[in-house]
Amino acid sequence: MHASGREHDKISTITGSANAANEPADFDTAISTTGYGLFNVLLLLAVLPIAWTVVFDTTSSAFILASAECDLQLTSFRKGVLVAFPYIGMTTTAFIWDYITPYISTKTLFIFALLGDSILNIVSSGVQSYYIFLLVKFLSGILVGGPLAMVMTYLTEFHSARYKPRFNTWTGFLFAVANIVPAALAFTTLPFDWHINILGQDYDFWRIYLLICSIPPVLGLVTATMLPESPKYLMAIGRSDAALKLLRRMYCMNTRQPADTFPIKALFVRQKAQLARPVLKASLERMRISLYNTKLLLTTTAYLPAFCFVSFLQFGSMLGFHVMRLWVPHLFVILNNFDEENWTKERQPTICEMLDRHATLPGRQYLNCSNFDDICFRWTVNPAVYQNSTVIASSAVIFSFLAGFITTTKLRKQIIMLTAFLISVASSFGINWAQSPPYMLTLASAVIVTTRIAGNIVTAVNVDVIPVPLRATSTNILVTIGNIAAIVGNLIFSALLETECLIAFLGLGCFFSACLCVSLFFPQPVKESPAKFADVSTAKY
């Protein structure tokens, strides 16, 4: 290997062989030459446990609410706080990771994050205190909202522009399949009275379930140690020799050709002197650019309507999705414990009447107790509840995936979004007066599926209407808005369940009605204004 170029050049050339006649290539050209094949497939399989960890950490708590009620002294509001806490960790620290991660190896971040998350998941299974459990989930949220949220970015750096759209579609589907697995594991674990003694502590079924849910981060930790560094990152830090070696290996595995036949013999890289910029100074510069872009989105007349449109619908769709998907398993555990023998009215009970603790089988023996509201119940868990949750999760994943193939035009996106919110409105208003639990379950499932589809369309609309220089900023803001919606929705919904149950469901319907009205005013793509972006573009480099 040798370096060519004068000392004052901003770009130097690192050659991969003695043949100096070959034209040096940039990253896009080099990665395109590697093709697509076995290397990319194996890489995707290696990062799946890492991507699934994010879903497990934010979902598993929803399936232990009934089983852990007495052990963790859970009230309805405490349950809402518990399922919301990972999102609080994700939201409060997301902006920090945005300015740290570009200067640290993604592989290194994966390893440390997965090591910490594995420990936290194992610890959570043995925790006796509610507040310590909250702390564990908060710390898990910090990890999954930062390093582990970079999986897709990491993967795309191994693919050329030609393969990215299709690859992103199918990779997103495989990542979304993780939503099904926690429900399937709950179906096979939580309904059974299992006990295991580990280091003198009795692990009952819900603790065993959490231990099983710690497998993805542990497995991800193993695979993360075997991951290669991104070739783009290697070139950015001046290690062109390592980047070229990796590109040759990708070419060899993908094309089944000898590595020495790789046509790229040299790569453009920055001078190492250019990379000595202090991380703090570079991070502050990135933060300034991000704040400037945010200011443009919020104060410029051309961008504000489109940005408000996607932000409001993102908040509404993610609020409905996260509230219903995290509460449906527990709500239907309670519905299956309804005391039908003590229901004397001639009509069928509403969902709120069935959720009343006074009308449940476990509550029958405590009706005369003065401290009834403080008593924890040992719920009987019907396996069908978690089986239904598995079906609902599968439906949400499959239908939202298929909707992506349909929503290829603006008109189709608007029609499907209107339909999704219309179904959500009808289901939210109708669920309280459905005649039986199967109908209630169907309506709750409809809310989960349609809000998931609406959320995906909002993301697609954001790409369509926000100009490229502001798109990354708007996407990051939308992710944060979705997490805030999960927090606000779960806290309010859990607080209303015991006090004003009917308002909890009707409130969702009213909010979806507002989303339905807003979705009628689909924004037009905003044209870029080069003058406004001039200051930003010069600040980046």
- Convert the pLDDT of each residue in 107-123 to its tens digit: 888 999 999 999 999 99
Rounded to the nearest integer, the mean pLDDT of the chain is 85
pLDDT of residue 45 exceeding 90, the answer is: yes
Query: Looking at residue 275, what is its pLDDT?
Result: 46
SS3 of residue 132 by DSSP: helix
Residues 470, 138: Cα–Cα separation, whole Å: 30
Query: Tokens for 376?
Result: 């924890």
Burial class of residue 10 in the structure, from the number of CB atoms within 10 Å of its CB (0-12 exposed, 13-18 middle, 19+ buried):
exposed
CA dihedral sign, ordered 53, 59, 63, 65: positive
Query: Looking at residue 183, what is its pLDDT?
Result: 92
Residue 298's pLDDT band (cuts 50, 70, 90): confident
What pTM, to 2 d.p., does this model score?
0.87
When comparing pLDDT for 89 and 103, which is higher?
A: 89
When comparing pLDDT for 178 and 284, which is higher?
A: 178
Output the DSSP codes for 249-288.
Answer: HHHHHHH---GGG-S--EEEEE-GGGG-S-HHHHHHHHHH
Residues 376, 187: Cα–Cα separation, whole Å: 23
Residues 65, 72: Cα–Cα separation, whole Å: 9
Instruction: Give the range among 52-61, 97-106, 290-299, 348-357 with minimum mean pLDDT.
Output: 97-106
| CB burial readout 454-481, b (16+ within 10 A) else e | bbbbbebbbebbbbebbeebbebbbbbb
Residues 6+ apart with CB under 8 A from 186: 63, 209, 329, 386, 389
Query: Looking at residue 529, what is its pLDDT?
Result: 57
Instruction: Give the range among 295-309, 363-377, 418-432 with minimum mean pLDDT.
Output: 363-377
Mean pLDDT of 164-177: 88
Residue indicated by tokens 């995290």: 326
Residue 270's pLDDT band (cuts 50, 70, 90): low
**What Cα–Cα distance (Å) separates residue 2 from each residue in 12, 18, 20, 239, 415?**
10, 8, 10, 12, 59
Residues 258, 198: Cα–Cα separation, whole Å: 52
Query: Looking at residue 103, what is its pLDDT?
Result: 66
Residues 421, 276: Cα–Cα separation, whole Å: 51
pLDDT of residue 273 exceeding 70, the answer is: no
When comparing pLDDT for 431 and 344, which is higher?
A: 431
Query: Looking at residue 538, what is its pLDDT?
Result: 40
Residue-wise pLDDT for 393-415, tens only, equals 999 999 999 998 898 888 999 99
Residue indicated by tokens 């990708």: 250
Output the DSSP codes for 5-70.
Answer: S-TT-SEEEEESSS-TTSPPB-HHHHHHHT-SSHHHHHHHHHHHHHHHHHHHHHHGGGGSTTTTTT
pLDDT of residue 268 exceeding 80, the answer is: no
CA dihedral sign, ordered 102, 525, 523, 451: negative
Instruction: Give the range among 19-23, 34-38, 82-86 with minimum mean pLDDT.
Output: 19-23
Query: Looking at residue 111, what is its pLDDT?
Result: 93
Q: Bridge-partner residues for 13, per DSSP?
A: 4, 268
Residues 322, 194: Cα–Cα separation, whole Å: 29
| CB burial readout 33-49, b (16+ within 10 A) else e | bbbbeebbeebbebbbb
Query: Looking at residue 161, what is its pLDDT?
Result: 83
Side chain identity at residue 212, one-letter code: I
**What Cα–Cα distance (Å) separates residue 509 from each residue in 399, 479, 503?**
22, 23, 9
Residues 508, 424: Cα–Cα separation, whole Å: 9
Residue-wise pLDDT for 184-238, tens only, equals 999 888 777 777 777 667 778 889 999 999 999 999 999 999 999 988 888 877 7
Residue indicated by tokens 């009987």: 380
pLDDT of residue 16 exceeding 90, the answer is: no
Residues 235, 243: Cα–Cα separation, whole Å: 6
Query: Looking at residue 232, what is its pLDDT?
Result: 86
Angle at CA 161, nearest 5°, toward 274 and 1?
45
pLDDT of residue 473 exceeding 90, the answer is: no
Residue-wise pLDDT for 23-41, tens only, equals 777 888 888 888 888 999 9
Mean pLDDT of 134-161: 88
pLDDT of residue 7 exceeding 70, the answer is: no
CA 121 to chain centre: 18
pLDDT of residue 262 exceeding 90, the answer is: no
Query: Tokens for 343?
Result: 């229901």
Query: Tokens for 115?
Result: 């090591």
Side chain identity at residue 1, one-letter code: M
Give the strand order in the sheet containing 11-15. Answer: 2-4, 11-15, 266-270
pLDDT of residue 124 exceeding 80, the answer is: yes
Query: Looking at residue 14, what is its pLDDT?
Result: 43
The length of the chain is 541
Mean pLDDT of 247-267: 88
- Choose the most confident range, by mean pLDDT, from 18-32, 181-195, 275-289: 181-195
When comparing pLDDT for 533 and 427, which is higher?
A: 427
pLDDT of residue 458 exceeding 60, the answer is: yes
Query: Looking at residue 2, what is its pLDDT?
Result: 43
